[in-house]
């Protein structure tokens, strides 16, 4: 087995240290401005990456991120694990009983807030592929991918905003949370189908087998899988070290599910997400355990992923104001109106629908993962990806003040 040499180990450790330190510094700055940590972490990446460090201190940047190929491969492994864990925690956040308790209203809001951006995103990208930077050779898939990327809601971010505004437990708050949970589940289901479309011509399983397997995997995990979890978890809680046993085994199960979905041709992150949902929905996974998993992943692995975005892309050379403008306008307007009309259709009051519209517009997590996968698969170009990241930042920063404003509306 090949191993890293002395210099490569030092390089890898320095990479991780610089990423975690800068991510923390900027997360703290974001916190001072009452913004989500993820925004700070994205900025930390921009500073450490080719945009700032590479531009002004090319030597330092070269040493840190381009001097040892093996180190970069090892670091990529860290990033992959971070994405898988990020999706795992996103799955844990989905609580099916909250979704059921909100019922039709949440479903309408979620579905409408996805349909409108997906259609609008698809139409814009399909009509102007060269301007926007979607892969013209895979036009349908790339355009749908773009639509899907702007249709996602940032569940963890909106949860934080609602907590800060003291709205988390209110009917509007729970409606948005349940809506965001549905968006997450639907989003990843659609994602795996689109990805199979992209690969149908090559080594993938083909569209229908992938759709069938995706649905089967989801259903089996949420029924048989959950049943199994319910049998094993009480034993783990009772007989093993706590939370050590639970932490190591739940992560092991997450990696198993991720490798299984990757093996059958669906992306690894889908398996991590669904196992997260199954585990999170188990009555035996205590809230304390969820809290620990959250802290552990959100503060160690999430920063590594969000900083890595800035390392991959140059935000100055790749910046295209036209593309960014279109992405932001299409993204914000369609997501807001989708959720708003969905709410109105389901009989939600006008004011609550406006709040839901702003709440559902929050981004900054799964949409970036989606964008990055599209970038790495050659479906979108760097400027479009940058547009998606900037959309996430603007949407997350504006959601709090907009929700605060909307709830005081006298309508």
- Is position 37 an interface residue for another protein (rule: CB under 8 A)? yes
The region of 30-38, 129-137, 231-239, 322-330 touching another protein under the rule CB under 8 A is 30-38
The region of 87-95, 135-143, 188-196, 351-359 touching another protein under the rule CB under 8 A is 87-95
Pick one of 137, 223, 248, 349: the residue that binds another protein (CB under 8 A). Answer: 223
**How do the residues of the chain divide into helix, strand and coil, expressed in percent and rounded to 5?**
80, 0, 20
Query: Based on CB atoms, which residue is closest to another protein, 64 or 395?
Result: 395
CB atoms inside a 10 Å sphere around CB 82: 20
Report, in Å, the least distance between residue 321 CB and another protein: 31
CB atoms inside a 10 Å sphere around CB 148: 25
Q: Give the up-direction half-sphere exposure of residue 317: CA atoms within 13 A in the CB hemisphere.
A: 11
For residue 287, what are the CA distances in angstroms to 238, 275, 291?
16, 17, 6
Alpha-carbon distance of 78 to 380, in angstroms, equals 24
Alpha-carbon distance of 132 to 277, in angstroms, equals 34
Query: Based on CB atoms, which residue is closest to another protein, 95 or 262?
Result: 95
- Is position 54 an interface residue for another protein (rule: CB under 8 A)? no
Alpha-carbon distance of 249 to 279, in angstroms, equals 11
Report, in Å, the least distance between residue 101 CB and another protein: 7
- Is position 286 an interface residue for another protein (rule: CB under 8 A)? yes
Pick one of 13, 17, 163, 240: the residue that binds another protein (CB under 8 A). Answer: 163
Pick one of 289, 307, 356, 372: the residue that binds another protein (CB under 8 A). Answer: 289
- Is position 234 an interface residue for another protein (rule: CB under 8 A)? no
Pick one of 123, 288, 349, 378: the residue that binds another protein (CB under 8 A). Answer: 288
- Is position 182 an interface residue for another protein (rule: CB under 8 A)? no
Alpha-carbon distance of 140 to 331, in angstroms, equals 19
Cβ-based burial of 351 (10 A; exposed 0-12, middle 13-18, buried ≥19): middle
- Is position 96 an interface residue for another protein (rule: CB under 8 A)? yes
Q: What SS3 state is found at 380?
A: strand
Report, in Å, the least distance between residue 6 CB and another protein: 35
The region of 140-148, 161-169, 192-200, 357-365 touching another protein under the rule CB under 8 A is 161-169
Query: Based on CB atoms, which residue is closest to another protein, 68 or 160?
Result: 160
Query: Based on CB atoms, which residue is closest to another protein, 174 or 406?
Result: 174
Alpha-carbon distance of 43 to 31, in angstroms, equals 13
Which residues pair with residue 380 across a beta bridge? 134
Pick one of 81, 86, 156, 375: the residue that binds another protein (CB under 8 A). Answer: 156
Alpha-carbon distance of 411 to 403, in angstroms, equals 14
Pick one of 19, 106, 148, 174: the residue that binds another protein (CB under 8 A). Answer: 174
Pick one of 5, 62, 76, 283: the residue that binds another protein (CB under 8 A). Answer: 283
Alpha-carbon distance of 219 to 229, in angstroms, equals 14
Nearest Cα to Cα of residue 228 among 257, 255, 189: 257
Q: What SS3 state is found at 170?
A: coil
Supply the angle between the helices 268-280 and 244-263 in degrees, to the nearest 10: 140
Pick one of 67, 295, 317, 349: the residue that binds another protein (CB under 8 A). Answer: 295
Query: Based on CB atoms, which residue is closest to another protein, 33 or 201?
Result: 33
Structure tokens at 254: 């997450």
Q: What SS3 state is found at 298?
A: helix
- Is position 347 an interface residue for another protein (rule: CB under 8 A)? no
Residues in contact with another protein by the rule CB under 8 A = 27, 31, 36-37, 89, 92-93, 95-98, 100-101, 156, 159-160, 163, 168-169, 174, 177, 222-223, 283, 286-291, 293-295, 298-299
């Amino acid at each position: 087995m090949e191993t890293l040499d002395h210099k490569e180990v030092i390089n890898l450790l320095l990479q991780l240290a610089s990423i975690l330190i800068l991510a923390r510094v900027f997360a703290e700055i974001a916190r001072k401005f009452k913004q989500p940590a993820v925004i700070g972490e994205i900025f930390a990446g921009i500073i450490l990456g080719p945009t700032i460090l590479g531009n002004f201190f090319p030597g330092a940047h070269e040493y840190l991120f381009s001097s040892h190929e093996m180190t970069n491969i090892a670091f990529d492994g860290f990033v992959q694990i971070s994405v898988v864990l990020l999706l795992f925690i996103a799955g844990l956040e989905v609580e099916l009983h909250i979704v059921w308790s909100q019922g039709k209203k949440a479903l309408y809001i979620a579905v409408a807030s996805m349909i409108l951006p997906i259609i609008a995103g698809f139409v814009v990208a399909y009509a102007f592929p060269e301007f926007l930077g979607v892969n013209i050779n895979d036009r349908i898939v790339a355009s749908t991918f773009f639509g899907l990327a702007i249709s996602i809601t940032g569940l963890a971010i909106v949860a934080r905003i609602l907590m800060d505004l003291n709205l988390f437990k209110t009917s509007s708050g729970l409606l948005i949370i349940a809506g965001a949970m549905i968006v997450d589940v639907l989003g990843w289901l659609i994602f795996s189908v689109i990805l199979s479309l992209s690969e149908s011509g090559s080594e993938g399983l083909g569209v229908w087998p992938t759709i069938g397997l995706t649905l089967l995997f989801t259903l089996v995990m949420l029924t048989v899988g959950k049943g199994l979890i319910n049998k094993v978890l009480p034993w783990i809680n009772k007989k093993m070290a706590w939370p050590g046993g639970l932490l190591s085994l739940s992560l092991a199960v997450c990696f198993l599910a991720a490798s299984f979905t990757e093996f059958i041709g669906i992306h690894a992150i889908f398996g991590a997400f669904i196992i997260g949902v199954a585990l999170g929905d188990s009555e035996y996974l205590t809230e304390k355990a969820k809290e620990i998993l959250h802290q552990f992943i959100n503060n160690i692995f999430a920063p590594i992923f969000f900083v890595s975005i800035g390392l991959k892309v140059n935000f100055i050379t790749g910046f295209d104001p036209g593309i960014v403008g279109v992405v932001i306008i299409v993204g914000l307007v369609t997501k807001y109106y989708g959720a708003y009309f969905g709410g109105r259709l389901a009989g939600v009051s006008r004011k609550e629908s406006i709040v839901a519209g702003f709440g559902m517009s929050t981004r900054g997590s799964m949409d970036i993962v989606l964008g990055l996968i599209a970038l790495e698969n050659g479906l979108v170009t760097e400027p479009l990806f940058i547009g998606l990241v900037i959309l996430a930042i603007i949407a997350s920063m504006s959601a709090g003040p907009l929700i605060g404003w909307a709830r005081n509306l006298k309508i």
